[in-house]
Every structure is written in C-alpha cells, then in structure tokens.
Structure 1
Amino acid sequence: MASIETLLNKTLSSIEQVGNDELYFLTTEGDKFKMYHEQDCCESVWLEETIGDLEDLIGSPLLMAEEVIESPPESDNYESATWTFYKFATIKGYVTLRWVGESNGYYSETVDFCKVN
C-alpha cells in the first residue's frame, strides 16, 4: 500500500475512472497508482462524489494530495459508515473525491491506494 501523499509534487498524465469503485492515476514519470477498495465480505465502498474537474489535475504538479476520514451523520441505513475525502490541487484547480464505506461494523470501510507497476 502507498500513501496518497506519494502523489504530492508529481504531474499526472491521465486519470481513468472504472465504474464507481476504481480510479487509476498515471504520472508523467510512468508510474501507475490505483485507488479502490479490497472487498472482504459484508461491506460496500464506492466513489460517491467528485467535486471539481479531474482534468484540472492533469499536466501540472500536484500541490496538494491529502486524505481526510470522517464519520457521516447517523442513519438507519447502516450500522457503520465512513466517508473518506481525497483532496487534490494544482495551479489549475481543486478536486475532492468523496468515498463512502458502509458495513455492519466488522469489516473495513477504507479506500486502498497502491502502486500497480
């Protein structure tokens, strides 16, 4: 596993979204990173919302790459939930990715990030 901060100061050449549960980040140096959730059993984790334009992250060094984890407001729809925000910025703009994880409380609701090449 890698930290999202690994992308700090790197320049992205592309971002590919696969469904609502995988993103691939390709750097100009040829490194490829995957953001996803390693499914275990009884949990669901998905990319709920993208605030901003992913194109703003292409072609300029990332000046911000951070992860913020919060508990969402209480709900009767799940026993346990986690919101994970990924905040990125270049000189062209800001993008926030909001991932949602829900489970019965016994399984991971986190987002995984790793280098894939």
Structure 2
Amino acid sequence: MAEFKDLLGLTLTGVERIGDDEIKFTANDGRVFKLYHDQDCCESVYIESITGDLDRLIGHPITLAEEATSGENPPDAKPEIVKYQDCFTWTFYKLATIKGYVDIRWYGESNGYYSESVDFCEEGKSRWG
C-alpha cells in the first residue's frame, strides 16, 4: 500500500491537478501516484486550496512529503464553509523540493456516515497492496 511519504526522495517529472478532487504525480522512474477522493452519496471532499506553485515540485528530489489531518477549522477557513458544518475533516499535504514548498489543503464534509478522507495510491496497484 502506498503512503504519501513514499514521495520523499523521488524526483517528479509531472504534477497534474484534475478538477477539484485529484492530483497525479509522475516520478522519473515512470511510476504515477494519485491523491484523490471517490465521491459518494452524502459527502463532499475536495481540494480547498493550493499554496505554492506545483511546478516547483518538478525536476528536483522531494525533500518533504507530510500528511496531517484536523477536525478543527483553520483560522482562515471561509465563512461559507464553516457556516453549516456537521461532520468534517481538513487534510493537509505538505511537499517541498529545493525550489520551494507547496501546501495542498483538502476539505471533507459529510453527515457523519461517509468518508471524509483523501486517498493516495500508486496507479496500477490497489490501495491495499
């Protein structure tokens, strides 16, 4: 099973944002990793913001690849997001190379019965191995 920290030390040749719920990372060894969420009925999980330029992750080894989650709203959360919250999760992905940092912030909300998590996998392999 791939973990986000598996990007550490890899050199990326491409980073592609696909809509609001997927980012693909292509490594120079040909492997492709995907950060995504498969939407279900009564939940919504999406990329809320990206701070930094994704192109800074290309061409140099990844020196930071961290994931963190929080059940508390960050200080700069948009009022329209927090107004009607029931059950929610913020997921933060921090990446860096010698060229700079990128923070990817995901927001997930549900009625409490559905997943608010973000998945990470290597394409061509299931998330279980």
Sort the TM-score into its range (normalised by shorter chain): over 0.9
Give 1:22's aligned residue.
22
Cα-to-partner distance string for 1:78-113 (whole Å, 9 max, x where unaligned): 211111000001000000000000101111100001
Q: Which runs of 4+ in 1 moved over 4 A?
A: none
TM-score calculated relative to the size of structure 1: 0.94
Once the two structures are TM-superposed, the CA of residue 40 in structure 1 deviates from its matched residue by 2.8
Give the C-alpha shift of residue 72 in structure 1: 3.1
* TM-superposed deviation, 1:75: 3.5
Partner of 1:88: 95
Q: Residue 77 of structure 2 corresponds to which residue in structure 1?
A: none
Alignment-mate amino acid for residue 86 of structure 2: E
- Give, in whole Å, the separation in 1 of the partners of 2:112 and 2:11: 37
- The reply to whether residue 100 of structure 1 matches residue 115 of structure 2 is no
Report the aligned-residue RMSD. 1.4
Unaligned runs of 5+ in 2: 74-80, 125-129
Q: Structure 1: where are the runs of 5+ without partners? A: none
Q: Residue 90 of structure 2 aligns to a residue in which SS?
A: strand
* Equivalences for residues 65-80 of structure 1 within 5 A: 65-73=65-73, 75-80=82-87
The match for 1:62 is 62
Identity of aligned residues (%): 53
Instruction: Read off the aligned partner of 2:8 and give its amino acid letter.
Output: L
2:10 corresponds in structure 1 to 10
- Bigger strand fraction: 1
For each residue in 1:44-67, what CA deviation from the matched residue of structure 2 results, as whole angstroms up to 9, or x when unmatched?
A: 000010000111100000000010
